Amino acid sequence: MYKFSISIVKLFLFCLVSGAVSASSALAQQDNFSIQSEILQETREIVVHLPENYDPENKDGYPVLYVLDADHDYYTAKIMSEMIVIAIKNIRRGYDFAPPSITFEMDGEQVSGNGDKFLAFIKNELIPFSSEKFRTNGRRVFMGHSWAGQFLAYTLSQSPELFDAWFITSPSIGEYGDQTFSDLKLVFKQDLDFPAFIYVSVGGSEDPDLKTDYDVLTTVLKQHLPAQVKLFHEINDGATHENNGAISLPKALKMYFSTTPLSSFSSSSQSYGQDEFPVLEGPYLGQKPPGLIPEAFAPGIVSTEYDEFNGVFTPDLQEFYFIREGGKYEEHTFFVIQYKNNRWGEPAVIPLVGQPTISPDGKIMHFGRRYIERTNAGWSEVKTLGAPFKDIPINRLSASSKGTYYFDTWSEKLDRPIRYSRLIDGKYEEPRTLGKEINTGTYNAHPFIAPDESYLIWNSRREDGYGDADLYISFRQKDGSWGPAINMGDKINTAGEEIDPYATPDGKYIFFDRKTSSKTWNIYWVDAQIIENLRPRQ
């Protein structure tokens, strides 16, 4: 394992002040804090550098650079005039950065690496806490050098959606990389929102083993990264292991912000300013319930001039999750609104991605074949379904109370069927294709199964449809078969597109996404009585 020499501090300061990325001679504000981690069961010290003119009321917010190895005091000067730096101090560097696939001796015992828990700490505790404490804008950059660079590669293989940019310098991976490289190849096959930018470097005068690690990692990335991800990799002539990180950082920042400028982080308009957010009390964000004519959900709060979709409540109706894209949110951005102290808070960005559905018991949030579990400390790290789902590009998965999965399969032609898989003796059976009642036409996708499996709602393109995609419902028959697909009618379906149906946990309302005439996606809701109105009379 290679370690970062303390002598790098002077080089960092020199490069940051004199390098290509603009830096001020004035020191940034500092606002360090401690965080009691339920996941790690310890207190972690966090070093924070704020922009010199940091304004907690800034309507545009600030991007954040998260860095490892704060113990080496890399960041005693301001890196960029409009960037927050959050650095994590080490306690057990080797142990915390090691993936769980690695075993080694520590304190006389054989232990597995703590990387999964350390990642969960960053994802579920540090980032949400920092986002609440500081005026961030949802843009996150992650940097690690040497063994910390190895941890970044592991994190990229587990949660590629967590950061918008990754700076991996002189990664010391060695024999430990086989599982990480395998996981990287698998994760890049999934239908996820991937980071916009990855930078990898090694010094020209570094150890040959480190150059090999660099070659293997960049080869995997070049061969398997989705096309939309910008990858920059370089060998810095003359750089050593001690100074390559300092040399690389300003270059990586310049490359990243030249491809994704700071101006793109901000939006020219907001639905509500920080001091203007309305008081929201009562169920469903305090909104007046709809009747049998669908209405946009929470106008100006959830449904705005931007794209919003995939809205779901937790079973206790205390949290509402949805996705937004538009304005300063150039990519799909995951939000949560929570009910605390008898009122609903403002939408807050959280580091999740995918089309969410929540199991009826509230213990699992599914994102296709990936999922997270509810723990005492919040949500777990992202996990992946095993056999028989691991090679299926699932777009949306819906679970019944018995644990039966109903899911679609993504394809460019939108011609794959909806399938299901039952949980039998603790194992999932091989998926079975639903019949022609469900799988007729094209774009049969985004299924929602009732908790008791009494009905199934999904979207489809059929000859009897009203628009580009309509919502259909099928009811379970007495013999266990599925009844004919019923178009949910011209009050639900329009000449546009209706997809992503979902029934609230209390069964009172149906939510779905509609593309309006302005080509904007919004979340709509309607009284669930429409289901009973469509149910065939026995």
Whether residues 243 and 290 fall in one domain: no
Whether residues 386 and 498 fall in one domain: yes
Whether residues 256 and 303 fall in one domain: no
> Does some domain include residue 279?
no
Whether residues 92 and 186 fall in one domain: yes
Whether residues 303 and 255 fall in one domain: no
> Does some domain include residue 270?
no
> Total domain count for the chain?
2
Q: How far is CA 452 from the centre of its chain?
A: 29
Q: What is the CATH number of the domain that holds 18?
A: 3.40.50.1820
> Does some domain include residue 120?
yes
Whether residues 82 and 203 fall in one domain: yes
Whether residues 188 and 85 fall in one domain: yes
> Does some domain include residue 423?
yes
Whether residues 469 and 333 fall in one domain: yes
CA angle 243, 65, 321 (to 5 degrees): 150
> Does some domain include residue 3?
no
- Asked if residue 362 lies in contact with residue 167, where contact means CB atoms within 8 angstroms, the answer is no
Whether residues 308 and 242 fall in one domain: no
SS3 assignment for 5-18 = CCCHHHHHHHHHHH
Phi, psi of 382 (to 5 degrees): -70, 135
Q: What is the CATH number of the domain that holds 289?
A: 2.120.10
The parent domain of residue 111 ranges over 8-261
> Does some domain include residue 489?
yes
Whether residues 404 and 522 fall in one domain: yes
pLDDT 10s digit of each residue in the chain, 538 long?
333 332 333 333 333 333 333 333 334 567 899 999 989 999 999 999 888 888 888 877 888 999 998 876 554 444 555 789 999 999 988 899 999 988 878 888 888 889 999 999 999 899 988 888 898 887 899 999 999 999 999 998 888 888 989 999 999 987 777 888 888 888 777 666 566 789 999 999 999 999 999 999 999 899 888 877 889 999 999 999 988 988 898 888 888 877 665 444 333 333 444 446 788 889 999 999 999 999 999 998 999 888 999 999 999 999 999 999 988 887 888 999 999 888 999 898 887 767 899 999 999 999 998 999 998 878 888 888 989 998 899 999 999 999 999 999 988 888 899 999 999 999 999 999 999 999 999 999 999 999 999 999 999 999 989 988 999 999 999 999 999 999 999 999 998 899 999 999 999 999 999 997 667 899 999 999 999 999 998 6
Whether residues 238 and 294 fall in one domain: no
Cα 217 from Cα 231, distance rounded (Å): 12
Q: Does the pTM of the predicted model rise above 0.75?
A: no
Whether residues 213 and 325 fall in one domain: no
> Does some domain include residue 297?
yes
Cα 242 from Cα 248, distance rounded (Å): 12
> Does some domain include residue 268?
no
